[in-house]
Structure 1
Amino acid sequence: MTNSHDAEIATVASKLVATIDKQAKIMQQLTSIGKKIEDHLYSPESEKIDGLLRILAGGANTAAIVSKTPINEIRSLSFTLYSLLDDKKKEAKNG
């Protein structure tokens, strides 16, 4: 196995980790927005809260849309990493 193959595997693995981290941060934002919405749902001032809930709903929608890109990238990087590791295994087997 050449060093370039190992370097490529390391690069893809690093990108995969970074993308998973990015997705986790987006999910944390969605969780935070969800908790804020839940906190305000049962407020005695619910009529005054409607504007805030609209803003929170918009933020949740935006975060959901933004999260699609990392998920697709995670799928792609995972497939690439599997392929590179399979190639490395085949090459090692064939000597």
Structure 2
Amino acid sequence: MIATHTSEPVVVWLDEAGAPTRLVFRNLGYRVIDTPTRLPHDAWLSCGSDHSGALPDRSPLGWRVTGRSSHDEILVFDLRLQPTGWIVENVFA
């Protein structure tokens, strides 16, 4: 599996419980095909993320999801919510 660290913006749709259901990354849509996993606050510490302006601990800081594109490309995404919107922190292919 190849991992790519990034901070690219992503558009994320959430269900009623706040979990991701689909996303658009690099102009390509992905449907979430697994049960999203909440990423704990300390998961971002290992990525060297800047926590200035971070969300309160009661908010989910991130999710790991597996997405499938309409071209059947499957990627695993680490998504993080920042004050300016969602970003992709890591992509696994």
TM-score (norm 2): 0.20
More strand by share: 2
The structure that has the greater radius of gyration is: 1
- The structure with higher relative contact order (CA 8 Å, sep 6+) is 1
TM-score (norm 1): 0.19
